[in-house]
Amino acid sequence: MSVNIKEWPGTALGSKDLEEGRVLTVRHRVRAEYAWDAGVAIGRYLRELKAGRLIARRCRGCDRILLPPRMFCEECFRPTDEWVYVQDTGTVNTFSVCYVRWDVARLTEPQLPAVIHVDGASPGMGIMHLLGEVRPEDVRIGMRVKAVWKQVEEREGAITDIRYWKPIAEEVG
């Protein structure tokens, strides 16, 4: 009975309460590190990245070319059928200009995360990546972009073997 309750519980603390030891606290860091297996589909995806190519999987059930690749189609719930190379060009579906890190520390140079729909994959098949060689104020949704790859010897089989995606000239018509 919200209107009938006079005292609401919960004791608010300020940061000084902790810093000056007015209330007792315990600090703990979990020492947990992980080694995640890339798996079959992403394992191949990473090897192809090292070779400077993007690869997807085709599902003959829905006739979609899926990116990132997966060994089963979550819509048809059946194994996907074949590997298909896709292009390293695409279209910006959405983007942000981000000034903070994961711990909310400020960045001096903003990052430009984007969802990029990759040419050759089915419509709507986007991946998350970064934009580069472009001023933040010039980025727009619908912009055409191309992957900028690391040098062959620098690649390690990771999504970061693509440094970022840069704008390319629009096709006329």
Restricted to residues 134-153, the positions that interact with other proteins (CB under 8 A) are: 136, 141
Segment lying near other proteins (by CB under 8 A), choices 103-111, 144-152, 165-173: 103-111
**Dist. CA 128–CA 116, nearest whole Å:** 6
DSSP structure class, residue 68:
S
Nearest to 83 by CA among 114, 122, 44: 44
Interface positions, 36-65, toward other proteins (CB under 8 A): 36-38, 40, 42-47
Q: Which is nearer to other proteins, 170 or 173 (CB)?
A: 170
What is the pattern of x (binds other proteins, CB under 8 A) and - over residues 71-90?
Answer: x--xx---x-----------
DSSP structure class, residue 131:
B
Contact 119, 110 (CB under 8 A): no
Q: Which is nearer to other proteins, 103 or 138 (CB)?
A: 103
